[in-house]
Amino acid sequence: MLFNSIPYLLFFLVVFWTFWALVRRPGAQRWLLLAASLFFYGFWNPAYLSLILGVTAVTWVCAARTRTDPARRRLYLTLGVGASLAVLAVFKYTGFALSSFEMLLGLFDASLPFSFAFARKIVLPVGISFYTFQSLSYLVDVYRGDLQPEPSPVRYALYVSFFPQLVAGPIVRATDFLPQLDAPRALTDDQAARGLSLIAIGLFKKIVIADYLAINLVDRVFDTPEMMSSPETLAGIYGYTLQIFCDFSAYSDIAIGSALLLGFTLPENFRAPFLAQNLSDFWRRWHISLSTWLRDYLYIPLGGSRCPAWRTQVNLGITMLLGGLWHGPAWTFVFWGFLHGAGLIVMRAVGWHRPATSWPSRILRTLATFHFVVFAFVFFRAGTFSGAVTVLRRAVDGPGGLMNLPWTVLLVLAVGFGLHGFPRAFTDRGVALFARLWSPAQAVLILAFAFFLQKVASTDVVPFIYFQF
C-alpha cells in the first residue's frame, strides 16, 4: 500500500474518520491505530507480521527485564539486541554474506560443495531496517535509564508499528512518541492545514519531480550508460541526486503530514541538505533521524570525538561503513558509506568542520560538498562497481550533444533544485493562509491539486526508493 496510491487514500480516510469519532475513548483510539498499522504492514505480505510482532515482543520483554532484574540487565540487553539484529541479518544480509564468501573462495579457485540457492530466494520484509532500529533505540534507552519501561504492550507495539512512518521512517524515538499517547487528542485548523500541506508537498515531490526524472532520465542513463552522451549522463547523475532527495523526503513529508492529521508529531527528517557547507553539516540535514541514531547509538558509544584524533577518525569510518551497509546488502552501498567516512575524515583534517568565515568560502564549501555527494550517489544508484565506473567515465569522455534531453526534463531539474532551498518562512505563510481559507475553498484547492497530479502522474504507481532498505 503506497502513499501515492488510491488504496492508501481510502485506507487513511477510514482510519482518520474512525479515529476522531473515538476522540473521547483514547484506549479505543490506540487499539484502532495498532490494528490499522498491522493491517497496513500486512497488506504487503501477512506472513511478515510475525517478524514485526516478534521483534516487538522480544525488545519489550528484554527492556523490562533490564530494570526488574539488575543482576542480569546486561544479559537481557544482549539478548534483545542480538535477537533483533539476527532477524535483520537473516532476512537482509544472508544472501549478501554468502555471495561475498563465494566470491572470496573464487579468488583461490575454490568453491562450496553445496548450493545456497535458498538464501537468494529470501524476500526482504518491507521496513525491517526502520522498525528494528526503533525497537533497538527503545531497548538501549531503557537500559541506560533514559526511559522508563513501557508497561503496556499495546502502547509499545503501536510505537514500533505506527503506520505513517513504519516503512521508511523517520526513525522515531520512544522518548518522543510514547508521551504523545497520553496527550489530549485535538486537531486544530493550523495542524490540519500543515498536515494537508505536507502531504501535498510530498506528493508533488514524488510524482512531479522524482517519478518524472526516474522514468524520463535517470533510469535510462544508469541502465544503458554506453548509449548516452556526456551531457545526458551528467544530467542523469545530477537527476538521481535530485530524484532520491525528492523521493525520500516526499515519503517523510507524507508520513509527518499523515501523523499530524492524527494528532501526532514526528521529527523532521530533511533540512535542505544540498545547501550544506561540509559533510558533517550534510548529515545534520539528510535523513536526520538515521544520522542522529547512528551518532547516539554507534558513534558516541565507540568513543565519538572524546578520544585521541586517530581514534575519532576510526569511529567516523566505522559509523559510516555500517551506515552504508544499513542501506542495503551490496558492496556499492558499503563503498558509498566508505566515501562519506573518508570525506568526513579529510574534512576534519583540513578544518572544514568549522564554520566558514566569509561568503566566498561558504559558497566554495557548499559547491564542493554538493558535488562530493553527487559523486558518491553514483555508487549508491549503480547496481555494480563496473556500472558506476561506466557512468562516471561516460560523463567525462562521452560524445557531446543533448540528444535525449527534452526541455521538460531540464525544466524539472531546474524547478527541483530551485525549490530545494526555498525559504521555510514562505512555506509557513502559505500554510497559514490555507488554514484561514473557508472550508469549501480549501476543498476546491485540494481537488484541483489532485486533478493536477492525476494529469502529470505516470501510468504506473512508482514505489518509493527507500522501501528496499
Q: Transcribe 115-151 into DSSP letters.
A: --GGGGGPPPPTTHHHHHHHHHHHHHHHHHTSSPPPS
Identify the burial level of 61 via C-beta atoms within 10 angstroms of its C-beta, where 0-12 means exposed, 13-18 middle and 19 or more buried.
middle
Residue 259's Cα: distance from chain center in Å? 16
**Residue 137: pLDDT above 90?**
yes
Look at residue 284 in the predicted model and tell me its pLDDT: 93
Under the banding of pLDDT at 50, 70 and 90, the label for residue 23 is confident
Q: What are the cell numbers at 262? A: 492524527
Look at residue 354 in the predicted model and tell me its pLDDT: 76
Cα-trace Rg, the chain: 23
Look at residue 120 in the predicted model and tell me its pLDDT: 61
**Residue 311: pLDDT above 90?**
no
Look at residue 176 in the predicted model and tell me its pLDDT: 93
pLDDT above 90 coverage of the chain, percent: 45
Q: Which of 40-54, 62-76, 270-284, 445-459 has the lowest mean pLDDT?
A: 445-459
Under the banding of pLDDT at 50, 70 and 90, the label for residue 279 is very high
pLDDT in tens, 148-206: 999 999 999 999 999 998 887 799 999 999 999 988 888 888 888 888 888 888 888 89
| Residues recognised as catalytic | 327
| Averaged pLDDT of the chain | 86
pLDDT in tens, 333-342: 999 999 999 9
**Residue 469: pLDDT above 70?**
no
Cell 493550523, located at residue: 190
What global pTM score does this model have?
0.90
Distance (Å, whole) CA 374 – CA 274? 10
Closest CA to 298 of 436, 136, 70: 136
Q: What are the cell numbers at 403? A: 540528444
Look at residue 217 in the predicted model and tell me its pLDDT: 92
Q: Which of 94-103, 313-322, 381-390 has the lowest mean pLDDT?
A: 94-103
pLDDT in tens, 379-412: 999 988 999 999 999 988 877 776 678 888 999 9
Q: Which of 267-276, 298-307, 458-467 has the lowest mean pLDDT?
A: 458-467
Distance (Å, whole) CA 213 – CA 218? 6
**Residue 53: pLDDT above 90?**
yes
Under the banding of pLDDT at 50, 70 and 90, the label for residue 111 is low
pLDDT in tens, 288-304: 999 999 999 998 888 88
Look at residue 461 in the predicted model and tell me its pLDDT: 64
pLDDT above 70 coverage of the chain, percent: 93
Distance (Å, whole) CA 230 – CA 217? 13
Look at residue 37 in the predicted model and tell me its pLDDT: 93
Look at residue 63 in the predicted model and tell me its pLDDT: 93
Residue 381: which residues within 8 A CB-CB, separation 6 or more? 218, 222, 240, 244, 388
